[in-house]
Chain A
Amino acid sequence: MAAEFDLVVIGSGPGGYVAAIRASQLGQKVAIVERENLGGICLNWGCIPTKALLKSGEKFESLSHLKEYGLSASGASFDFDAIIQRSRGVAATMNKGIGFLMKKNKIEVIEGSATLEKGPNGASGAPKVVVALKAGGTRAIEAKTVMLAVGARARALPQIGLEADGDKIWAYRDALAPKKLPKTFVVIGSGAIGIEFASFYRALGAEVTVVEAVDRIMPVEDEEVSKAAQKSFEKRGIKFKVGAKVTKVTKSAKGVSVAVEIGGKAETLEAEVCISAVGITANTDGIGLEALGVELDRGHIKTDSHCQTNVKGLYAIGDCAGAPWLAHKASHEGIHAAEHIAGYKTPNVHSPIAGCTYAQPQVASVGVTEQAARAENREVKIGRFPFRVNGKAVAAGEVDGFVKVLFDAKTGALIGAHMIGHEVTEMIQGYVTAITMEATEEDIHGIVYPHPTMSEAMHEAALDAYGRMLHL
């Protein structure tokens, strides 16, 4: 029997649905299997709805700074339910959009949970996809190629009692749609997710303490950025416990107590709610990977530079295939894999992936940190520029933060950029473009940055790396 589809994508998050569209553009007959909502976590329970919440928080918090701008208003308040409803509405809108995109690209959406079985051609063909349909019954699908885009979920640490219950211990999903607003939080983990929720709930006036096991917050960021971020967040009233190992999370009638150990000293933090943001677990269980002999690497599916697994005809992209766990990385891999399946000869999937945290202030980075460069004994040239002397930032009253860049000393290649400040997540793309197109310092020095913009700080930082800074 001929295969029913050229490609079946399992999971419709930003990796899967984008891959499906690209494959369809390339003339493939494509189906996509989704067990919950089109758009996956990103659209429904991640990237997008958190941005909606954060915007509400930011707007509300800005009301307390009106005087600085010569404005006044009285009786500012918020409606927590309405904030949550707005966020859910945004997610619903985006979700509908994906349905439309699937239809437009003639991609068949199959609602249900997929498992993989050995295909009819055994080891020489792609696995068979068996879907337990939402509507009832099962459907077996044969396709020339299968792509896993099954994503990941919040990691639980049952050994210390850190398991989300939706009541006193929240994972991201609970934190996105709570029934009422707690007054005190302990957030465990200071990665992007932990920091964003801390930032949001603090904006609404909650007491928030963030616990981080490493000795600095946002450990994947450049150390200088970590330090600056902590300072800014502390100014907003967020408390931090760094170098703090969580030993036990205990629920009580009033809330939770989080036992931590800091430098050998035990301490207990009390709060109404604990938000767990301690990383993710790939959704690689219960889909039949073991029987097929799909190789895993610490829980993630092992893939080559074209996103192929060790099983013929089976690709894996996005969170389930390893770090960084970012939507845009998943999309990029999805596109690459779709093109590879269609016979494109693209060299490999690697491109620099920027990381963004949408707290106040925002943090954005791409490429290597100074610490990573030093660890590799790379000779680098480093430049910095603070927003406090950038005209646009001063005019906008957003002087917090700076830009830091790293160039390879020998070749002049831009190898890292780290930014903290207002809307830096919208600016990092300038550096991403530069790195992707293999710009050197000469190119960046030669770019004309529009005035007045905060992006001028990006130019100045690059100039500073070569002793040519103009405005400081």
Chain B
Amino acid sequence: MTDILMPALSPTMEEGVLAKWHVKVGDVVSAGDVIAEIETDKATMEVEAVDEGEVTDILVPEGTENVKVNTPIARLKDEGGAAAPKPAAKTEGAPKAEAAPAKAEVPKAAAPAAPKSENGERIFASPLARRIAAQNGVELKSIKGTGPHGRIVKRDVEGAPQTAGKGAAQPAAASTGSAAAATSGIEPRKAQSLAQMGIPDGSYDLIPLDGMRKAVARRMVDSIQNVPHFPLFIDVEIDQLMAVRAKVNKMLEPQGIKVSVNDFVIKAAALALKAVPEANASYTPEGIAMHHNADVSMAVAIDGGLITPIIRKAETKGLAQIATESKDLAKRARERKLKPEEFQGGTFSVSNLGMFGIKQFTSIINEPQGCIMSVGAGEQRAVVKDGQVVAATVMTVTLTCDHRVVDGATGARFLQAFKPLIEDPVAMLA
């Protein structure tokens, strides 16, 4: 016997909807046959059989939601007899081929089947509403329809995710790593509990949780509950950085490249991580993972949440390249066009709220990274130098550390390495 397990369609997927079975008990399948369709908040994908055999049991019925990854969903009897259960399904991420002429575009990725609610009742939604919900990662069952007979229509789904953080893709606080790729998450706080807490129904609008919001909620709660956080604060002077930046930008002007303070921070952090590799590490039960490269995640605020695209091997890249990449990543993040590998798997995060005038803040660890850096606003402050009060442009930087892997002294050494690089960017050339 071989158990077919619920597959993970992306590295961070935890559960999904078993949208459709293409086989029934008694069918004989061979490797490569499409046996089922799995729906996540983003897409419907097909599951192919890896082994051959006869389907003896369908363990999870069609339309079941929240099926955890690696849950057995069906059972195969091998032709040669019994075998040890093993993962026996692989997924095909590619959209279904369409019986269409070669020039046809293939739009089949997310053909959402008529959705069902938890108790199996059909949810009435217009075709367009179903599609937009699938594209935006909105769960139809969380929405109240305002169309005829309570049918869910476009305006109901569109209203759902478009409320939070409207506007530019600015670096933002507390990052989520693979936010958009994760599926459903922690139980949302229910409306009735608000009523119990004295906030009456009807006194607020309820915005349904989309996939990103759920991922942010779940990952942040997990992190704050399970990771022993502590912050380290340091002030850095950036007068020289501002001067160098002006010079560099003038030089790069013909190429249309503009380097931001944040690009300097990414570069300096990457170099500091190379100098103090213990800070470029992840805690795992098996041991401390010492990362080879400084893959710096930068938190970008987008409509409805945030995402952390990654500057890979930032220690090897020049400022111009970092600036070009970060601009492109932020732009595509806003358009939700990042590929999973572009926002999954960073080793260190930088979150910058300086442009909002935030003086200092403490981010939540973006698991499994060991540290996250929070960058405040650069501002003129009075500092004492050689017994004299003088003006300097000062920026407060906070390093939040996962104490399981980065101890206080390690974090401090990292900041010690970081500070001279940012205060005198010429040092980055050394």
Please report A residues at the B interface, Cβ cutoff 8 Å. 347, 410-413, 437-443, 466-468
Contact = CB atoms under 8 A, between A and B. Distances in A.
A441 B105 CA distance: 12
A467 B128 contact: no
Contacts of A443: 127
Given A410-B135, A437-B126, A438-B127, A466 B153 contact: no
Contacts of A438: 126-129, 153-154
A441 B107 CA distance: 10
B101 interface: yes
A467 B127 contact: no
Given A410-B135, A437-B126, A440-B131, 14 more contacts: A412-B107, A413-B128, A413-B131, A413-B154, A438-B127, A438-B128, A438-B129, A438-B154, A439-B127, A439-B128, A441-B107, A466-B107, A467-B100, A468-B100
A339 to B, nearest CB: 13
A80 B154 CA distance: 52
28 contacts: A347-B146, A347-B155, A411-B135, A412-B131, A413-B128, A413-B131, A413-B154, A437-B126, A438-B126, A438-B128, A439-B126, A439-B127, A439-B128, A440-B127, A440-B128, A442-B107, A442-B127, A443-B127, A466-B100, A466-B104, A467-B100, A467-B101, A467-B103, A467-B104, A467-B105, A468-B100, A468-B101, A468-B104
Interface centre among A347, A438, A442, A468 (most CB of B within 10 A): A438
Nearest to A381: B105
Interface in B148-197: 153-155
A61 to B, nearest CB: 41
A411 B126 contact: no
B111 interface: yes
A177 B128 CA distance: 47
B304 to A, nearest CB: 16
A467 B101 CA distance: 7
Contacts of A412: 107, 128, 131
Nearest to A443: B127
A332 to B, nearest CB: 15
B232 interface: no
Nearest to B100: A468
Contacts of B132: 411
Nearest to B152: A438
Secondary structure dominating the interface of A? loop
Query: Which 8 A-B pairs give the minimum distances between C-beta atoms?
Result: A438-B126, A438-B128, A467-B104, A467-B103, A413-B128, A440-B127, A443-B127, A347-B146
A411 B103 CA distance: 20
Task: Bin chain B's interface residue count.
Answer: 10 to 19
Contacts of B128: 411-413, 438-440
Contacts of A440: 127-128, 131
Interface in B108-165: 111, 126-129, 131-132, 135, 146, 153-155
Contact of B131 (A347, A411, A466): A411
Contacts of B146: 347
A438 B154 CA distance: 7
B237 to A, nearest CB: 44
Contacts of B155: 347
Contacts of A439: 126-128
B26 to A, nearest CB: 30
Nearest to B134: A411
A439 B128 CA distance: 6
A215 to B, nearest CB: 34
B149 to A, nearest CB: 12
Nearest to A407: B107
A468 B100 CA distance: 6
A262 to B, nearest CB: 43
Contacts of B127: 437-440, 442-443
A466 B105 contact: yes
Contacts of A468: 100-101, 104
B137 to A, nearest CB: 14
Nearest to A440: B127
B64 to A, nearest CB: 24
Contacts of B103: 467
Contacts of B105: 466-467
B121 to A, nearest CB: 21
Contacts of A467: 100-101, 103-105
Contacts of A411: 128, 131-132, 135
A77 B127 CA distance: 53
A410 B135 CA distance: 9
Interface string B264-305: 000000000000000000000000000000000000000000
A101 B285 CA distance: 81
B100 to A, nearest CB: 5
Nearest to B102: A467
Interface centre among B107, B126, B128 (most CB of A within 10 A): B128
Nearest to B153: A438
A363 B129 CA distance: 30
Contacts of B111: 442
Contacts of B129: 438
Contacts of A441: 107
A414 B103 CA distance: 21
A439 B101 CA distance: 23
Nearest to B104: A467
Contacts of B131: 411-413, 440
Contacts of B101: 467-468
Contacts of B104: 466-468
A159 B303 CA distance: 52
A33 B306 CA distance: 59
Contacts of B154: 413, 438
A410 B111 CA distance: 13
Nearest to B126: A438
A45 B317 CA distance: 76
A347 B107 CA distance: 31
A439 B104 CA distance: 20
Nearest to B146: A347
A294 to B, nearest CB: 29
Contacts of A410: 135
A410 B101 CA distance: 21
Nearest to A408: B128
B104 to A, nearest CB: 4
A347 B128 CA distance: 18
A370 to B, nearest CB: 19
B394 to A, nearest CB: 43
Interface centre among A439, A441, A467 (most CB of B within 10 A): A467
Contacts of A347: 146, 155
A446 to B, nearest CB: 10
A428 B112 CA distance: 28
